[in-house]
Copies of this chain bind each other. A is one copy, B any other.
Amino acid sequence: MTSRHRSRSRSRSESKELTRQALLRAALKLLPRNSFDSISLREITREAGVSPTAFYRHFDDTEELGLALVEEAFGSLRQMMRDARADPAMTRDAINRSIETVVVHVHRHTDHMRFIARERYGGVRRLRQAIRRELELFSEELAIDLSVFPALSAWPPADRRMFADLITDTMVSMAAELVETRSPEGEDEIVRRKRQQLLLITLGVDRWSPHADPEDAGHDADAS
């Protein structure tokens, strides 16, 4: 490599990192039109502007690149969470602030969120496992954060975790739908519906009986 990266002042490891990033970018760029496991190594290198063989300087195979994408995508999600935690309006207006945070994140990191949504139940086992594991960590963290709400602070951790899972699922499915929507009107409708659903869920929080054995609690429980 000579001046591919105007490398006169770049160290070898810096240049290598640039190529690595180009490969990751390239894979994400190809994802809107394909599942990850139908993207070829040659497509990725072509998109990144390097020869097919250069790929092996960075990853053993495309699956390993996929795992790097999982880490990257959840890295940006954790940053989102940190920002949300620092938002002083969060406890006062949790639903709207959370939704807004996720919407902004989807706009800023569309590729990452599409990757998560697509590969969460996609065709590559190790990617599914890695994504599930990261989502579990995410939900675990969320469960801790939720303790600041008085109504939830008295709940047993397991119940709080169940609640956090429900919020996580709802947010991920909102992101998955937002990523697929082209029109701002479509986005608004998704956001409006998810806001109502989150509101409905939180209405149940006050009436929740902690410690309740779910098997018993479920019996004779209906919507009327």
**How would residues 119 to 156 of chain A score, 1 for a CB under 8 Å from any chain B CB and 0 otherwise?**
01111000010000000000000000010011110000
Which of A16-24, A74-82, A197-205 touches B?
A197-205
Q: Among residues 90 to 110 in chain A, which have CB atoms less than 8 Å away from a CB atom of chain B? A: 91-96
**A13 contacts chain B at the CB level, 8 A cutoff:** no
Docked Cα-Cα span, A162 to B193, in Å, equals: 6
Copies in the complex: 2
Contact (Cβ within 8 A) B199 A221: yes
* Contact among B96, B151, B165 with A193 in the assembled complex (CB-CB below 8 Å): B165
- Chain A residues within 8 Å of chain B by Cβ, number: 60
The interface-forming segment of A4-12, A33-41, A46-54, A65-73 is: A33-41
Residue on B nearest A94 in the bound complex, by CB: B222
Question: Are A151 and B223 touching (Cβ within 8 A)?
Answer: yes
Q: Of residues 161 to 180 in A, which have CB atoms within 8 Å of B's CB atoms? A: 162-163, 165-166, 169-170, 173, 176, 180
Q: Given A159-B196, A180-B128, A200-B201, is A33 in contact with B123 using a C-beta cutoff of 8 Å?
A: yes
Task: Establish whether residues A195 and B218, one from each chain, have CB atoms under 8 Å apart when the complex forms.
Answer: yes
Contacts of A25 in B (CB 8 A): none
Q: Are B152 and A92 in contact (CB under 8 A)?
A: no
Neighbouring B residues of A203 by C-beta, 8 Å:
203-204, 207-208
A84 located at the interface, meaning its Cβ lies under 8 Å from any Cβ of chain B in the complex: no
A122 to B93, CA, bound (A): 34
Residue A88 CB within 8 A of the other chain: no
Check if A1 is an interface residue, CB within 8 A of chain B: no
11 A-B contact pairs sorted by A residue (CB < 8 Å) = A34-B123, A35-B37, A121-B176, A192-B215, A195-B218, A200-B204, A201-B204, A202-B221, A203-B203, A203-B208, A207-B207
Binding site for B on A (CB under 8 A): 31, 33-38, 91-96, 117-118, 120-123, 128, 146, 149-152, 159, 162-163, 165-166, 169-170, 173, 176, 180, 192-193, 195-197, 199-208, 214-215, 217-224
